[in-house]
């Protein structure tokens, strides 16, 4: 038996390791199981080159929780270690790395440690009052040994009894970490971090009584908790549509079938594999971020991939696996890592290429999926200029009849009618086809094409791309009456006399609380509404932004809403109103027409709405 001190100069290294090795203590399970996988994979490699002799037998990892003995045991059947290797790897190499860490990162974020020095084994001391390692090397004639350490620099290394090749790590769990003696807790951590490791992992509760097998029944088959060959580790040619969809259900059991997916497989200039899925999204509020899982050689790292995946693709689901992304490193490290930047750009390009391919090969299918796809595409066009350039080829607009146009197709279809005085292409849109139906129908009657922009991202999208598309201008269909929308038509003469038109204008200019109203009388079609309320495009956008807290929110929120009232002097209703002898009734009739127009814009609320209802009842009674 050998006793000794681990050769370190820093006496208080163990308390620091215990406290700061990781911010989340359950990571120790991931680290120890990952080490067991490495030991197993090394044995396979040595066997393939003839250095490990004989039959390898079943290669597996067993994790056992024994609440009564207060232990967790991780056992592998990998390469194992000789006495010399135990001394080298447990007493010298790792601890010299730990000391280097302490000097380099003293006082900094503890998440920098792993990935630089390979200290995974020592994460066990975060939860243990004592750690035993019983190991037997694969080498012929090797004798098993036991290494014991209680969290101080002192250790014991002695002969042991162990029949099979491999390593058992026995953690004697301390009082503060007794939560890890709950079998459900440990199994949950295994399923989170080790779900796709390449060696079968079996979980055991040492205190659970085996189920009774009745006569004639088959005994329960022991099953690993992990899928050792997940879809992303295979070649696309090996996978069917069902394979991809089944893997998606494995990742997200309750999600709808995805729209489609992109299989990533890069080995130069960085290593990257994975599958990214476009989920089916019916409503903008269903968007969920942080659904992409990051792995390193099939070891789960995190589902916060903001610095690795472009922001707009955070809406995607799936898996990315890259050994070129270190395990626990800080965000500042990720942001500066050249491989991360390359991976980010590569993923953007792959997604753009895939969308363009689907659009070109099956436009009808692309259009069917646009309700969900549009959110990704618009978000990407707002946040990534490289994606914006590519996306103009497959970005589409849907008009109120259901027809789709690319941007170029829309410009071609509307170039004759929808150019303003500055020769800019005016893209007319509606945010609510039903509520804005009057305005939509007037515009269509004039030969204009009105597209739908109904999602939560559309307001931001319009403001964003309008800056980049200098030759185009978005105008909501209710920003003005149809005759004025393209800033060309002045309208025809009203049949009203100049005096009657002036009288109507005065009647309509009655003040309305919280609104700044301007009135004009125009000669429109007799079929057009008698009065139309519109809101100037830019001011309405500012007010909407203010309601969401954006921009100069407080300034614009306090300003009254600007409303333009257009009175159709050619509508027959005004003959009756102007002929009304009772001034009070005449004012009420005009006021009601104005309020109906304001109601269509959602601007009649509170006290003004109550007065409108009461006034309508009085007019009906009369």
Q: Which ranges of 522-582 would DSSP assign to H, the alpha helix?
A: 537-547, 553-558, 573-579
Structure tokens given for 72: 């967790």
pLDDT in tens, 150-205: 877 788 999 999 999 999 999 999 999 999 999 999 999 999 889 999 999 999 99
Beta-ladder partners of 71: 66, 172
Mean pLDDT of the 35-41 span: 90
Alpha-carbon distances, residue 91 vs 5, 87, 195, 313, 507 (angstroms): 8, 5, 31, 45, 94
CA distance 36 to 22: 19
Least confident of 123-132, 324-333, 464-473: 324-333
| Conformational region of residue 128, where left means phi above 0, alpha means psi within -120 to 50, and beta covers everything else | beta
C-alpha to C-alpha distance for 318 and 245, rounded to whole angstroms: 11
Give the full edge-to-edge strand order of the sheet including 292-296.
Answer: 260-266, 272-278, 317-321, 292-296, 299-302
Name the pLDDT band for 105 (thresholds 50, 70, 90).
Answer: very low
Q: For position 91, what pLDDT does the model report?
A: 74
Residue 272: strand pairing partners: 266
Domains, the chain, with CATH or none: 2-205 (3.30.565.10), 238-371 (3.30.230.80), 395-490 (3.40.50.11260), 494-537+553-622 (1.20.120.790)
The pTM of the full predicted model, rounded to 2 decimals, is 0.75
Higher pLDDT, 592 or 544: 592
Q: How far apart are CA 154 and CA 489, in angstroms?
A: 92
pLDDT score, position 309: 80
- Other CB atoms within 10 Å distance of the CB of residue 133: 22
- 217: its two tokens: 């029944």
DSSP conformational letter for 286? G
Indicate the range of 90-99, 132-141, 371-380, 444-453 predicted with least confidence: 90-99
Which secondary-structure segment (H or E) carries 13?
Answer: helix 13-20
pLDDT at site 533: 86
Three-state SS string across 169-193, please?
Answer: EEEEECHHHHHHHCHHHHHHHHHHH
Sheet holding 425-430, edge to edge: 450-452, 425-430, 472-476
Distance CA 491, CA 569 (A): 11
Find out whether 465 and 488 touch, Cβ atoms under 8 Å.
no
492-502 tens-digit pLDDT: 566 788 888 88
Dist. CA 41–CA 32, nearest whole Å = 14
Residues facing residue 452 across a β-bridge: 430
Phi, psi dihedrals of residue 365, rounded to the nearest 5°: -65, -40
Compute, in degrees rounded to 10, the torsion defined by CA atoms 6, 9, 12, 13. -60
> What pLDDT score was predicted for residue 329?
47
- What is the SS3 assignment for 428-471? EEECCCCCCHHHHHHHHHCCCCEEECCCCCHHHHHHHHHHHCCC
Please list the residues that pair with 405 across neighbouring strands. 397
Q: Each residue of 410-440: pLDDT tens digit?
A: 999 999 899 888 888 999 999 999 888 888 9
């Amino acid at each position: 038996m050998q006793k000794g001190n681990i050769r370190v100069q820093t006496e208080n290294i163990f308390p620091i390791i215990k406290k700061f090795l990781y911010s989340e203590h359950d990571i120790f399970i991931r680290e120890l199981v990952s080490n067991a996988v490495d030991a197993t994979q090394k044995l396979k490699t040595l066997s393939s080159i003839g250095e490990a002799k004989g039959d390898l037998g079943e290669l597996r990892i067993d994790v056992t929780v024994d609440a009564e003995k207060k232990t967790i045991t991780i056992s592998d059947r990998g390469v194992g270690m000789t006495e010399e290797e135990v001394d080298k790897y447990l007493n010298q190499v790792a601890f010299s790395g730990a000391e280097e860490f302490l000097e380099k990162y003293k006082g900094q974020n503890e998440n920098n440690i792993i990935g630089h020095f390979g200290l995974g084994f020592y994460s066990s001391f975060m939860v243990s009052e004592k750690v035993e390692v019983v190991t037997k090397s694969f080498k012929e004639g090797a004798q098993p040994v036991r290494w014991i350490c209680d969290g101080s620099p002192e250790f014991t290394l002695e002969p042991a009894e162990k029949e099979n090749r491999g390593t058992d790590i026995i953690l004697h769990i301390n009082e503060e970490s007794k939560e890890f003696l709950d079998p459900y807790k440990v199994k949950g951590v295994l399923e989170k971090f080790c779900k796709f490791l390449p060696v079968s992992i079996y979980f055991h509760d040492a205190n659970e009584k085996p189920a009774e097998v009745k006569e004639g029944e088959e005994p329960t088959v022991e099953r690993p908790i992990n899928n050792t060959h997940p879809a992303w580790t295979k070649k696309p040619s090996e996978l069917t549509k069902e394979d991809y969809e089944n893997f998606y259900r494995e990742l997200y059991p309750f999600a709808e079938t995805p729209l489609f997916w992109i299989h990533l497989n890069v080995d130069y200039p960085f290593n990257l594999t994975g599958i990214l899925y476009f989920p089916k999204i019916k409503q903008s509020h269903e968007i969920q971020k942080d659904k992409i899982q990051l792995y390193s050689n099939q070891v789960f790292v995190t589902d916060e991939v903001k610095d690795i995946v472009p922001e707009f693709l955070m809406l995607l689901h799936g898996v990315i696996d890259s050994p070129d992304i270190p395990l626990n490193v800080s965000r500042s490290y990720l942001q500066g890592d050249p491989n991360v930047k390359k991976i980010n750009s590569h993923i953007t390009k792959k997604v753009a290429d895939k969308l363009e391919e689907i659009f070109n090969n099956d436009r009808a299918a692309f259009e069917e999926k646009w309700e969900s796809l549009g959110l990704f595409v618009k978000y990407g066009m707002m946040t990534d200029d490289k994606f914006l350039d590519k996306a103009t080829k497959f970005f589409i607009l849907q008009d109120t009849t259901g027809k789709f146009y690319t941007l170029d197709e829309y410009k071609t279809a509307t170039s004759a009618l929808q150019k303003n005085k500055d020769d800019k292409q005016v893209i007319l849109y509606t945010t609510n086809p039903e509520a804005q139906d009057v305005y939509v129908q007037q515009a269509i009657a004039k030969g204009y094409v009105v597209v739908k922009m109904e999602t939560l991202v559309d307001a931001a999208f319009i403001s964003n791309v309008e800056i980049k598309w200098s030759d185009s201008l978005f105008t909501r269909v209710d920003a003005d009456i149809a005759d004025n929308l393209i800033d060309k038509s002045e309208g025809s003469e009203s049949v009203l006399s100049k005096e009657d038109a002036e009288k109507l204008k005065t009647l309509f200019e009655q003040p309305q609380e919280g609104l700044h109203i301007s009135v004009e009388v125009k000669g429109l079609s007799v079929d057009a509404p008698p009065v139309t309320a519109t809101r100037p495009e830019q001011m309405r956008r500012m007010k909407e932004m203010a309601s969401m807290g954006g921009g100069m929110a407080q300034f614009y929120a306090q300003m009254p809403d600007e409303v333009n009232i257009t009175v159709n002097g050619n509508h027959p209703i005004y003959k009756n109103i102007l002929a009304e002898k009772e001034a009070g009734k005449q004012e009420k009739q005009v006021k009601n027409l104005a309020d109906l127009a304001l109601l269509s814009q959602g601007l009649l609320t509170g006290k003004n709405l109550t007065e409108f209802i009461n006034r309508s009842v009085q007019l009906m009674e009369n």
